[in-house]
Amino acid sequence: MKLRLLIMGIMLTQGVPFILAQPNKAILNIDNNGSAGDEKFTIALNFNEPFRWKNTKFESIKTFPMRGGSKMPHTIRFNANNNVSWRQTDVVFSGTFDLEETSAKDLLDQYIEKHGGFGVRTWSVDKKGNLKSFNERTGQYEMLTPRQFAEKYGLEFQSDEHTIEASISGYLVEIIGVFNHETNLLNFDTLDYVPLFHVPRFTIEKSQDLKKWIKVKLSDPLPKEYQWPHELSIELNTELKNNTFYRVKIEED
């Protein structure tokens, strides 16, 4: 585990926050209601994380009735291994997902059309959607992803990073999910979902000379997730003083 210093501090002069930040770094800001002398105050932390599909949870805006009279949203979880779980109230569906892109079959058709079908190296599509061919020189199979195959043979390959195709058990056709970067909503099977990112482990420190840093205690436990790309509001259990710098250290695995 290593530490990554993401945000630089805030200096308070006469109760007015002065933000010291860098592009593509997390930003720390003090709530407008904070003033010098307060024993507790709220900060807003923007992790500045780029959008991602993997290791992200999506929660539907619309809620649905449960047994007992309560309501809850539908949730979708995309993990790092391209597996997806989709919870609809008390039923969970599982499957796999991929970015919408030119399929291995379409690339194979391009390859045959471009190089001819006789006397050329034979390729086939495996169960994972990759292309494989037996290499007589090495005596082993060569495996290529669709993108690698297209680059190797100069084929037309298209990929949409905002659109995924999900194969869900119990559904006869693939479900298309489209993320709108203007509204920051995922449309999946006619419902709109908000993205929830995991809150990374971090510590907040303060200093008055930029040399000696003291860890600041949080008033409440941190939530496990935050709604991307919004800020995470945190209440600090420390007195707000003038001419004090604050910084955040993010823990990386």
Mean pLDDT of the chain: 81
Same domain, 167 and 70: yes
pLDDT for residue 16: 33
pLDDT for residue 26: 56
pLDDT for residue 33: 46
Residue 38 has pLDDT above 70, yes or no: no
pLDDT in tens, 173-209: 999 999 999 999 999 999 999 999 999 888 888 888 8
Same domain, 117 and 227: no
pLDDT for residue 99: 87
For residue 117, give Cα distances in angstroms to 150, 155, 229. Answer: 17, 16, 49
Same domain, 118 and 218: no
Please report, for the domain that includes residue 168, its CATH number: 2.40.128
What pLDDT band is residue 2 in, cutting at 50, 70 and 90?
very low
pLDDT in tens, 207-252: 888 888 888 888 888 899 999 999 888 887 776 666 778 888 887 7
Same domain, 108 and 153: yes
Same domain, 21 and 139: no
Same domain, 75 and 152: no
Same domain, 185 and 65: yes
Same domain, 69 and 89: yes
Same domain, 190 and 82: yes
Which of 247, 229, 248 has its CA nearest to residue 50? Answer: 229
Same domain, 221 and 246: yes
Cβ pair 195, 58 in contact under 8 A: yes
Q: How many domains does the chain have?
A: 3
Domain that holds residue 136: 103-157
Same domain, 109 and 136: yes
- pTM for the whole thing? 0.73
Same domain, 37 and 122: no
